[in-house]
Structure 1
Amino acid sequence: RGYKPTDITDVVLTHLHYDHCGGGVYRDSDGNLKLTFPNARYHVSRAQWEWAVNPNPREADAYLPENLLPMRDLGALNLIEDEGELLPGIELRLFNGHTRGQIIPIISYGGRKLVFVADLFPFRSHIPLPWIMSYDVEPLVTLKEKETFLKESLEGEYIYIYQHDYFADCSELQLTPKGIRATDGFTFEELMEKLK
């Protein structure tokens, strides 16, 4: 896309499970841990950071110290205390059902709200309320968070961007006789075309 790692100024990590933060640090040819984006602040919620560095037995294998500690030790870590605007047009919301302090970024772009739904909705198939990952630490909290956020998303015509859905990068939402469901999925490139 024409950017170099040194051009990146801000990295939002939704949470610190290895599959969501593993690319933020790498080992150089001498085996030293380095930041992938050396000029960036790495934004994580304080609740998630504290949860990750003192993990519960259920999630401990998902938090790898080599992914986490260099962000702090190299001075790049910024701990988010509260929900709110990080930068103009980028709002951060906090959710606690999947793991404590998961950030869901909401980006205003092209007159729409684009939501990187991380592990609140890992796949489009998780949009029905009872479809919750067994990995979530507090499934009843996830259920309530999903219900509230789905209503807001439908009313606001939010576009969801998925990290884990193999068949679609994005979708919109629609109200059906069975409740709120995803529309047919589309690619990120198709989304950018829609928003031109």
Structure 2
Amino acid sequence: MKTWRKGSAHFRICVQGISSHAGVDHAKGVSAIEEISRIIQYVHTLTDYQVGTTVNVGLVKGGIGSNVVADFAEAEVDVRVMTLEEAKRIEEIFFSLQPSLPGTKLTVTGGIRRPPMERTDQSGNLFARAQQIASSELGFELQESGTGGVSDGNFAAACGVPTLDGMGAKGAFAHSPEEYVEIGQMAVRGALLARMLQEC
């Protein structure tokens, strides 16, 4: 069961440069690709495993050909954070980004998509009850964990509702062609959910 989940943010960084012929008038151009490469290197330094923050530029586009100084480039960025305080700090950094190459313009859009589901004493109590039911009534041991993945539980927790998440199907390899669920676990997971609804 998940008693915490990281929050997520998504940003799109767009850079406008000045196009020119790369062979004839290279000096007249200002490369949006060069600018965005500098920004990408900077935002990746914001990753801090100790505090649980990860920044990933997962998609980059720009330019129209190798013989043209690119006048446009963009990057899409995924950010995961443990706390709302950290989410706001990262958001402020992204919206304060400035270009370093003269002649380029920078636009940043996006922001926090799902607030962190931070562990609370109340969610810990819910887990303890689920663990007790699993052990004494259903014959299996339940483990507490958290994840960098998000769910609708992020929204429930942000509203102040004690939240225990990850109560669905058991499986592995999420979001891959090998993803599966253990059919034999469906009944026992359903029973646990039903008993939790009775208890709460």
Question: Which category of TM-score, normalised to the shorter sequence, fits these structures?
Answer: under 0.3
Give the TM-score of the pair, scaled to structure 2: 0.23
Give the TM-score of the pair, scaled to structure 1: 0.23
Q: For the pair shown, which has the larger CA radius of gyration, 1 or 2?
A: 2
- Larger relative helix fraction: 2
